[in-house]
Chains A and B, each alone.
Chain A
Amino acid sequence: MSRVLEIAGLVKSFGGLTATDHVSLTVESGEIHALIGPNGAGKSTLINQICGELAPSAGRIHLAGQDITRLRADERVALGLGRTFQITSLLEDMTVRQNLGLAVQVREGRNFAFFDNVARRREIWDETDAALAETALGPRAGVLVADLSHGEKKQLELLMALARRPRLLLLDEPMAGLGHLESQQMIETLAAARTGCAMLLVEHDMEAVFALADRISVLVYGRIIAVGKADEIRANPEVREAYLGEEEA
């Protein structure tokens, strides 16, 4: 198995606070690696450093063998890093179809063409329509994103990230705010997508984590206190105390 993501000795401090404390972590190809931890553990800070919105104080990040520590966010995406946001982030004035179409267009290129007509670029719309038809969003293609339900927005955001055909997908709480049925759908979608790309999954929903993750890392106060398979993490007394315990209590 080749290594899709390798983080080594990553440190981020804000003044006196060390939000990321010598974190090392790997994601192998085809793997779903879950990152769990209580609120304030530094999960979002870590995600933001991986996608390039925050610069780390020390340490290195490699994507498929290439050092991306100093690259801009959009350059990392071009190398195969996809992401979804904790709070969904879409183009609200456009329809579902236009949102996904734009994601396909960005990947296809020719984005500096002044004299073409997007509506007539068949390669974009054929792929967009085919992708939408396979999902529950199919009948909602012409709806403005501002009028979608929360669950539909999460689905669309995932589709847009996948349209880019990433090597690694960073998922920042994809289940947050979803109802039980929607969570089940999201788990199925992610399970189906795993053949195409590796994932780093930040999630609070333990049912989803245990259903999807090959390995789990536990982050507490910016430090990884345990890594292992689901059973090992469940059995780990330190993890139970720091995290799982307080949920069951």
Chain B
Amino acid sequence: MRRETLALLAVFAVLALVPVLAELTGQTSWTRLVGQALIYGMAAASLNFILGYGGMISFGHATFFGIGGYVVGILYFHFDEGTRFLGIIPGTGQMLLTLPAAILVSGLAAALVGALSLRTGGVQFIMITLAFAQMFFFLFISLKTYGGEDGVMVRRTNSLPGLNMRDKATLYWVILVVAAGYYLFLRQLVRSSFGQIIAGIRQNERRMTAMGVATYRYKLAAFILSGMGAGLAGALMVNFLRFASPDMLHWTRSGELMVMVILGGVGTLAGPFVGAAALTIIETLLSRLTEHWMLPVGVLLLAVVLLSRGGLMALIARMTGGRGK
């Protein structure tokens, strides 16, 4: 317990120093890299809640990531033009409005997708979530107003009262604080009464039904919560990269999130963040050397999955002699 708190504080402190260290050493690209890893870590962690803790293998999780991102993009677009979305909703560039809006809209999308796909299970569930993801992908491509295949630019990062959000380091710290908050939220959720029911459903849904649990309801609630988390991550990503594109919703993005979860450690709190960091850093380093950087990544993934049951978190736990939680 104490040990966990200390470890979390240490990791937070190191991450908070990244922009300072990057500035000092002249490696300014590191701030961008770690910021991206944190955002992907949030998206992967949200997927891990249903995949690792709930046993629902969703293959369309990038949908909610993309929708969250597009909410920021579209709101900014109308703010910039001085028009209204569907003639009703005015645009905005205030982060205190755009993030909740992104969470809300991606939650609604997750409610729609989950309500239909959770009536099935196993391979059917995987295929239906993938089918929904493709539908949303082509929907956003067809939105010519918002740039179609090119996506929509956000020329200025959303503003927060009292902060200079045009400063890259400030934006990074905002992302770090949101990511830390999200980590603590998931940690709480896993320990809650609701979290226990979800863990029970993963292990034996038939037993939970026999105990009187209407499992569908709980799975849907978990699916919606998870979609909201991905939407929040997407909204931050669009702020960070300053554009939203259909690429965010592509099915390979869903695959990448899954790779991050598996690489880091399925069903662990820190695993998805570790996996996201590992994949982002490897991708950046290797893509400088070769165009075919996916090949060594594939080999690495195979090695981690085969050699360390439980991903990188299991390796870390073995090295530090602690438990991988």
Q: In the complex the two chains form, is A73's CB within 8 Å of B188's CB?
A: no
Tell me how far the C-beta of B66 lies from the nearest C-beta in chain A, rounded to whole angstroms.
26
CB contacts (< 8 Å) of B199 on chain A: these are 91, 93-94
B212 at the interface (CB under 8 A from A): yes
A118 to B191, CA, bound (A): 6
User: Is the CB–CB distance between A106 and B215 below 8 Å?
Assistant: no
Chain A residues within an 8 Å CB radius of B197: 102, 105-106, 111
Q: Is the CB of A164 within 8 A of B204?
A: no
- Closest chain B residue to A80 by CB distance? B212
Q: Which residues of B contact A113 (CB under 8 A)?
A: 192-194
- A106-B212, A106-B213, A160-B211 given; A114·B203 CB < 8 A: no
Total A-B residue contacts, Cβ distance less than 8 Å: 85
CA separation between A102 and B208, bound complex, in Å? 9
A103 touches B211 (CB 8 A): yes
Q: Does B147 contact A (CB under 8 A)?
A: no
Say yes or no for A121: interface residue by CB 8 A criterion. yes
The closest CB in chain A to the CB of B212 belongs to: A77
**A92: Cβ under 8 A from any B Cβ:** yes
A84-122 vs B, CB cutoff 8 Å, 1 = contact: the mask equals 010001111110000000110111001111111111010
**What residues of chain B lie closer than 8 Å to A91, measured between beta carbons?**
199-200, 203-204, 207
Whether the pair A118, B209 counts as a contact (CB closer than 8 A) is no
Q: Which of B194, B209, B212, B215 contacts A164 (CB 8 A)?
A: B212
Q: List the B residue with the shortest CB-CB distance to A98.
A: B196
Main secondary structure of the interface of B (DSSP, over half): helix
Q: Does B132 contact A (CB under 8 A)?
A: no
Give the Cβ gap from A147 to chain B, nearest Cβ, in Å: 15
Chain B residue numbers with a CB within 8 Å of A118 are 191-193, 195-196
Residues of A within 8 A of B218 (CB): 111-112
A74 and B194 contact, Cβ closer than 8 Å, known pairs A91-B200, A114-B188: no
Annotate A203-217 by CB proximity to B: 1 below 8 A, 0 otherwise: 000000000000000
Return B77 CB to nearest CB of chain A, in Å. 34
A91-B203, A91-B204 known; A116+B210 contact, CB < 8 A: no
Q: Which residues of B contact A58 (CB under 8 A)?
A: none
Asked if A51 CB lies within 8 Å of chain B CBs, one says: yes
Q: Are A90 and B192 in contact (CB under 8 A)?
A: no
CB neighbours (8 Å) of B206 from chain A are: 85, 89
Interface residue range, chain A = 35 or more
Q: Are A105 and B193 in contact (CB under 8 A)?
A: yes
- Report the minimum CB–CB distance from B280 to chain A (whole Å): 30
Asked whether B210 lies within 8 Å of A77 as measured between CB atoms, the reply is yes
**Interface contact B203-A93, CB-CB below 8 Å:** yes
Restricting to B214-245, which residues have a CB under 8 Å from any CB of A?
214-215, 218, 221
A–B pairs, 30, beta carbons within 8 Å: A73-B210, A74-B209, A74-B214, A77-B209, A85-B210, A89-B206, A89-B207, A91-B200, A91-B203, A91-B204, A91-B207, A92-B203, A94-B199, A102-B196, A107-B212, A111-B193, A111-B194, A111-B218, A112-B194, A112-B218, A113-B193, A113-B194, A114-B189, A114-B192, A115-B188, A115-B192, A117-B192, A118-B195, A119-B191, A164-B211
Give me the interface of A with B, judged by CB distance under 8 Å: 51, 72-75, 77-78, 82-83, 85, 89-94, 102-103, 105-107, 110-119, 121, 160-161, 164
What 19 additional pairs, Cβ within 8 angstroms, besides A85-B210, A112-B194?
Answer: A74-B209, A74-B212, A75-B214, A77-B210, A82-B210, A89-B204, A89-B207, A91-B199, A91-B200, A91-B203, A93-B199, A102-B211, A106-B197, A107-B212, A111-B193, A111-B218, A116-B192, A118-B191, A118-B196
